[in-house]
Amino acid sequence: MERPLDAALQRLAETDVLLVALDFDGNISVHVDDPQAAGPLPEAAEAIEALSALNRTSVALVSGRAIDSLIAVSGAGDHILLAGSHGAEYRMEVGAPPLSLTADELADVERLGAILREVASRHPGTAVETKPAGHALHLRNADDDVALDAQHDVRRRVLASLPGVTARPGKDVEEFSVMAATKGDAIERIRAYVDASATFYSGDDVTDEDAFRALHDGDVGVKVGPGDTLAPFRVPAPTDMALVLTRLAELRAAFVRSR
Protein backbone atom coordinates (compact mmCIF):
# COMPACT_ATOMS: atom_id res chain seq x y z
CA MET A 1 0.00 0.00 0.00
CA GLU A 2 1.33 3.43 -0.89
CA ARG A 3 2.51 5.50 2.06
CA PRO A 4 0.16 8.50 1.48
CA LEU A 5 -2.90 6.24 1.52
CA ASP A 6 -1.73 4.41 4.62
CA ALA A 7 -1.15 7.74 6.39
CA ALA A 8 -4.65 8.88 5.41
CA LEU A 9 -6.13 5.65 6.77
CA GLN A 10 -4.30 6.12 10.06
CA ARG A 11 -5.76 9.62 10.44
CA LEU A 12 -9.21 8.42 9.47
CA ALA A 13 -9.11 5.53 11.93
CA GLU A 14 -8.77 7.98 14.81
CA THR A 15 -11.97 9.90 14.11
CA ASP A 16 -14.73 9.86 16.71
CA VAL A 17 -17.52 8.27 14.62
CA LEU A 18 -16.43 6.49 11.44
CA LEU A 19 -18.59 5.67 8.43
CA VAL A 20 -17.15 3.16 5.95
CA ALA A 21 -19.28 3.33 2.79
CA LEU A 22 -18.57 1.01 -0.13
CA ASP A 23 -19.71 0.45 -3.67
CA PHE A 24 -20.26 -3.26 -4.34
CA ASP A 25 -19.62 -4.41 -7.92
CA GLY A 26 -16.06 -3.80 -9.07
CA ASN A 27 -15.11 -2.61 -5.60
CA ILE A 28 -15.47 -5.39 -3.03
CA SER A 29 -16.70 -7.83 -5.69
CA VAL A 30 -15.14 -8.47 -9.08
CA HIS A 31 -17.31 -7.89 -12.15
CA VAL A 32 -18.86 -11.10 -13.48
CA ASP A 33 -20.93 -11.85 -16.59
CA ASP A 34 -23.97 -12.89 -14.53
CA PRO A 35 -24.76 -10.10 -12.01
CA GLN A 36 -26.55 -12.54 -9.70
CA ALA A 37 -23.41 -14.68 -9.48
CA ALA A 38 -21.43 -11.86 -7.87
CA GLY A 39 -20.22 -12.01 -4.29
CA PRO A 40 -17.86 -10.11 -2.00
CA LEU A 41 -14.23 -11.19 -1.91
CA PRO A 42 -13.71 -13.22 1.29
CA GLU A 43 -11.01 -10.82 2.55
CA ALA A 44 -13.27 -7.84 1.98
CA ALA A 45 -16.21 -9.53 3.69
CA GLU A 46 -14.03 -10.36 6.70
CA ALA A 47 -12.80 -6.77 6.97
CA ILE A 48 -16.35 -5.44 6.71
CA GLU A 49 -17.50 -7.68 9.54
CA ALA A 50 -14.52 -6.61 11.66
CA LEU A 51 -15.24 -2.93 11.07
CA SER A 52 -18.96 -3.21 11.72
CA ALA A 53 -18.28 -4.90 15.08
CA LEU A 54 -16.29 -1.92 16.38
CA ASN A 55 -17.77 0.79 18.58
CA ARG A 56 -18.75 4.07 16.89
CA THR A 57 -18.10 2.51 13.47
CA SER A 58 -20.72 1.90 10.79
CA VAL A 59 -20.46 0.14 7.43
CA ALA A 60 -22.74 0.88 4.48
CA LEU A 61 -23.01 -0.58 1.00
CA VAL A 62 -23.93 2.06 -1.59
CA SER A 63 -24.83 0.45 -4.90
CA GLY A 64 -26.63 0.93 -8.16
CA ARG A 65 -28.28 -2.44 -7.54
CA ALA A 66 -31.79 -2.60 -6.18
CA ILE A 67 -31.84 -3.32 -2.45
CA ASP A 68 -33.16 -6.88 -2.88
CA SER A 69 -30.41 -7.71 -5.38
CA LEU A 70 -27.76 -6.12 -3.15
CA ILE A 71 -28.86 -8.19 -0.16
CA ALA A 72 -28.88 -11.37 -2.25
CA VAL A 73 -25.35 -11.01 -3.60
CA SER A 74 -23.69 -9.37 -0.60
CA GLY A 75 -25.26 -11.39 2.18
CA ALA A 76 -25.38 -8.17 4.21
CA GLY A 77 -26.95 -8.65 7.60
CA ASP A 78 -29.12 -6.07 9.34
CA HIS A 79 -26.04 -4.52 10.95
CA ILE A 80 -24.88 -3.29 7.51
CA LEU A 81 -26.59 -0.14 6.23
CA LEU A 82 -27.71 -0.24 2.61
CA ALA A 83 -28.40 2.29 -0.12
CA GLY A 84 -29.61 0.81 -3.40
CA SER A 85 -30.65 2.11 -6.82
CA HIS A 86 -28.06 4.89 -6.61
CA GLY A 87 -29.58 6.35 -3.44
CA ALA A 88 -33.26 5.88 -4.30
CA GLU A 89 -33.68 2.97 -1.82
CA TYR A 90 -32.45 2.58 1.77
CA ARG A 91 -32.27 -0.02 4.49
CA MET A 92 -31.12 1.73 7.62
CA GLU A 93 -33.71 0.37 10.02
CA VAL A 94 -35.20 -3.12 10.24
CA GLY A 95 -38.72 -3.09 8.87
CA ALA A 96 -38.32 0.18 6.95
CA PRO A 97 -41.00 0.58 4.26
CA PRO A 98 -40.06 -0.04 0.62
CA LEU A 99 -39.67 2.73 -1.92
CA SER A 100 -43.01 4.33 -2.78
CA LEU A 101 -43.67 5.88 -6.21
CA THR A 102 -46.57 7.96 -7.50
CA ALA A 103 -48.93 6.60 -10.14
CA ASP A 104 -47.24 8.76 -12.78
CA GLU A 105 -43.80 7.53 -11.75
CA LEU A 106 -44.93 3.91 -11.87
CA ALA A 107 -46.34 4.48 -15.35
CA ASP A 108 -43.02 5.95 -16.49
CA VAL A 109 -41.16 2.95 -15.03
CA GLU A 110 -43.39 0.68 -17.12
CA ARG A 111 -42.76 2.74 -20.27
CA LEU A 112 -39.02 2.63 -19.60
CA GLY A 113 -39.13 -1.14 -19.25
CA ALA A 114 -40.98 -1.55 -22.53
CA ILE A 115 -38.42 0.57 -24.39
CA LEU A 116 -35.40 -1.22 -22.90
CA ARG A 117 -36.86 -4.67 -23.50
CA GLU A 118 -37.54 -3.80 -27.14
CA VAL A 119 -33.96 -2.53 -27.57
CA ALA A 120 -32.58 -5.65 -25.90
CA SER A 121 -34.62 -7.90 -28.18
CA ARG A 122 -32.79 -6.45 -31.19
CA HIS A 123 -29.28 -6.48 -29.69
CA PRO A 124 -27.98 -9.99 -28.82
CA GLY A 125 -26.06 -10.21 -25.57
CA THR A 126 -27.77 -7.24 -23.93
CA ALA A 127 -30.09 -7.74 -20.97
CA VAL A 128 -32.56 -5.65 -18.98
CA GLU A 129 -32.44 -5.36 -15.19
CA THR A 130 -35.60 -4.14 -13.49
CA LYS A 131 -35.33 -1.85 -10.47
CA PRO A 132 -38.01 -0.23 -8.32
CA ALA A 133 -37.53 3.22 -9.86
CA GLY A 134 -36.29 2.33 -13.33
CA HIS A 135 -34.46 -0.13 -15.55
CA ALA A 136 -30.91 -0.79 -16.71
CA LEU A 137 -29.67 -2.15 -20.03
CA HIS A 138 -26.57 -4.30 -19.45
CA LEU A 139 -24.07 -4.42 -22.31
CA ARG A 140 -21.22 -6.48 -20.85
CA ASN A 141 -22.03 -9.70 -22.72
CA ALA A 142 -22.65 -8.11 -26.12
CA ASP A 143 -20.07 -7.73 -28.89
CA ASP A 144 -18.51 -4.28 -28.92
CA ASP A 145 -20.29 -3.08 -32.05
CA VAL A 146 -23.63 -4.43 -30.84
CA ALA A 147 -23.15 -2.80 -27.42
CA LEU A 148 -22.33 0.55 -28.99
CA ASP A 149 -25.38 0.42 -31.26
CA ALA A 150 -27.62 -0.57 -28.34
CA GLN A 151 -26.19 2.26 -26.24
CA HIS A 152 -26.99 4.87 -28.89
CA ASP A 153 -30.39 3.34 -29.63
CA VAL A 154 -31.58 3.21 -26.04
CA ARG A 155 -30.40 6.72 -25.22
CA ARG A 156 -32.16 8.16 -28.26
CA ARG A 157 -35.42 6.34 -27.67
CA VAL A 158 -35.66 6.93 -23.92
CA LEU A 159 -34.80 10.62 -24.08
CA ALA A 160 -37.26 11.14 -26.95
CA SER A 161 -40.11 9.37 -25.15
CA LEU A 162 -39.36 10.26 -21.52
CA PRO A 163 -37.22 13.41 -21.45
CA GLY A 164 -37.73 13.90 -17.72
CA VAL A 165 -36.07 10.67 -16.60
CA THR A 166 -32.57 10.55 -15.14
CA ALA A 167 -29.95 8.82 -17.31
CA ARG A 168 -27.03 7.17 -15.53
CA PRO A 169 -24.43 5.76 -17.92
CA GLY A 170 -21.98 3.40 -16.24
CA LYS A 171 -19.48 0.68 -17.05
CA ASP A 172 -21.15 -1.52 -19.67
CA VAL A 173 -24.59 -0.33 -18.61
CA GLU A 174 -27.14 2.31 -19.53
CA GLU A 175 -29.54 3.00 -16.66
CA PHE A 176 -32.62 5.19 -16.50
CA SER A 177 -34.62 6.15 -13.42
CA VAL A 178 -37.69 8.23 -12.58
CA MET A 179 -35.79 9.47 -9.51
CA ALA A 180 -32.80 11.83 -9.58
CA ALA A 181 -31.06 10.43 -6.49
CA THR A 182 -27.30 9.86 -6.61
CA LYS A 183 -24.71 8.04 -4.56
CA GLY A 184 -23.70 11.46 -3.28
CA ASP A 185 -27.20 11.87 -1.84
CA ALA A 186 -26.78 8.46 -0.22
CA ILE A 187 -23.50 9.46 1.42
CA GLU A 188 -25.06 12.64 2.81
CA ARG A 189 -28.08 10.80 4.17
CA ILE A 190 -26.17 7.93 5.77
CA ARG A 191 -23.52 10.25 7.21
CA ALA A 192 -26.27 12.27 8.91
CA TYR A 193 -28.03 9.10 10.09
CA VAL A 194 -24.96 7.77 11.94
CA ASP A 195 -23.63 11.27 12.79
CA ALA A 196 -20.25 10.38 11.30
CA SER A 197 -17.31 12.66 11.99
CA ALA A 198 -15.41 11.20 9.01
CA THR A 199 -16.23 8.96 6.05
CA PHE A 200 -14.37 6.46 3.90
CA TYR A 201 -15.75 5.76 0.43
CA SER A 202 -14.52 3.59 -2.41
CA GLY A 203 -15.91 2.70 -5.83
CA ASP A 204 -14.95 1.96 -9.40
CA ASP A 205 -17.67 3.41 -11.65
CA VAL A 206 -18.55 6.84 -13.02
CA THR A 207 -21.61 6.93 -10.72
CA ASP A 208 -19.25 6.77 -7.75
CA GLU A 209 -17.95 10.21 -8.66
CA ASP A 210 -21.11 11.69 -7.11
CA ALA A 211 -20.11 10.03 -3.83
CA PHE A 212 -16.53 11.28 -4.05
CA ARG A 213 -17.91 14.77 -4.71
CA ALA A 214 -19.92 14.57 -1.48
CA LEU A 215 -16.90 13.81 0.73
CA HIS A 216 -15.72 16.44 3.21
CA ASP A 217 -12.29 17.57 4.38
CA GLY A 218 -10.83 14.74 6.45
CA ASP A 219 -12.74 12.05 4.58
CA VAL A 220 -10.94 9.49 2.40
CA GLY A 221 -11.99 8.48 -1.12
CA VAL A 222 -10.39 5.63 -3.06
CA LYS A 223 -10.99 4.90 -6.74
CA VAL A 224 -10.68 1.26 -7.82
CA GLY A 225 -9.26 0.75 -11.31
CA PRO A 226 -8.65 3.16 -14.20
CA GLY A 227 -10.55 6.27 -15.23
CA ASP A 228 -10.74 9.93 -14.32
CA THR A 229 -11.76 10.53 -10.73
CA LEU A 230 -12.17 13.09 -7.97
CA ALA A 231 -10.85 10.59 -5.43
CA PRO A 232 -7.41 11.48 -4.06
CA PHE A 233 -6.32 7.83 -3.89
CA ARG A 234 -6.47 4.87 -6.26
CA VAL A 235 -5.89 1.11 -6.14
CA PRO A 236 -5.77 -1.23 -9.15
CA ALA A 237 -8.43 -3.84 -8.35
CA PRO A 238 -10.96 -5.19 -5.81
CA THR A 239 -8.27 -7.47 -4.36
CA ASP A 240 -6.29 -4.35 -3.46
CA MET A 241 -9.38 -2.75 -1.95
CA ALA A 242 -9.76 -5.80 0.28
CA LEU A 243 -6.26 -5.11 1.59
CA VAL A 244 -7.15 -1.45 2.20
CA LEU A 245 -10.22 -2.46 4.20
CA THR A 246 -8.21 -5.00 6.19
CA ARG A 247 -5.66 -2.30 7.04
CA LEU A 248 -8.39 0.17 8.02
CA ALA A 249 -10.01 -2.45 10.26
CA GLU A 250 -6.68 -3.08 12.00
CA LEU A 251 -6.05 0.62 12.55
CA ARG A 252 -9.58 1.31 13.74
CA ALA A 253 -9.54 -1.64 16.14
CA ALA A 254 -6.26 -0.43 17.66
CA PHE A 255 -7.68 3.06 18.15
CA VAL A 256 -10.95 1.81 19.66
CA ARG A 257 -9.01 -0.39 22.13
CA SER A 258 -6.87 2.55 23.17
CA ARG A 259 -9.78 4.81 24.11
Estimate the crossing angle of helix 3-13 against helix 238-258, to 10 degrees: 40
In a shared domain, residues 208 and 231: yes
The one-letter amino acid at 60: A
Q: What is the pLDDT of residue 96?
A: 67
Q: What is the CATH number of the domain that holds 108?
A: 3.30.70
Count CB neighbours of 205 within 10 A: 25
DSSP state of 237: S
Query: At which of 124, 147, 177 does a domain end?
Result: 177
3-state SS class at 29: strand
With left for phi above 0 and alpha for psi between -120 and 50, is residue 201 left, alpha or beta?
beta
Q: Give the DSSP letter string of 47-115.
A: HHHHHHTSTTEEEEEE-SS-HHHHHHHH---TTSEEEEGGGTEEESSTTPPPP---HHHHHHHHHHHHH
Show which of 177, 206, 227 is a domain's final residue.
177
Amino acid, single-letter form, for residue 82: L
- Do 74 and 198 lie in a common domain? yes
Q: Are residues 110 and 162 in the same domain?
A: yes
Is there a single domain that holds both residue 91 and residue 114? no
Q: Same domain, yes or no, for 59 and 173?
A: no
Predicted pLDDT at 143: 94
Query: Is 76 in contact with 45 (CB distance < 8 Å)?
Result: no
Of 177, 205, 221, the one marking the end of a domain is 177
User: Do 157 and 86 share a structural domain?
Assistant: no
Q: What integer pLDDT is reported at residue 168 of this predicted model?
A: 87
Domain extent, residue 208, equals 3-98+182-258
> Do residues 116 and 208 share a domain?
no
pLDDT for res 94: 63
Collect all residues with Cβ–Cβ distance below 8 Å to 130 and sequence separation of at least 6.
66, 113
3-state secondary structure 121-180: HCCCCCEEEEECCEEEEECCCCCHHHHHHHHHHHHHHHHHHCCCCEEEEECCEEEEECCC
Where residue 107 falls (left for φ over 0; alpha for ψ -120 to 50; beta otherwise) is alpha
User: 114 and 93: one domain?
Assistant: no
Query: Do 163 and 54 fall within a single domain?
Result: no
pTM above 0.85, yes or no: yes
CATH code assigned at 227:
3.40.50.1000
Q: Which segments of the chain have a pLDDT < 50?
A: none
Tell me, what's the pLDDT at 60?
A: 97
231 and 109 share a domain? no
| Three-point CA angle 152, 230, 68, nearest 5° | 60
Based on the structure, what is the number of domains in the chain? 2
- The answer on 111 and 94 residing in a single domain is no
Same domain, 110 and 221: no
What is the reported pLDDT for 171? 83
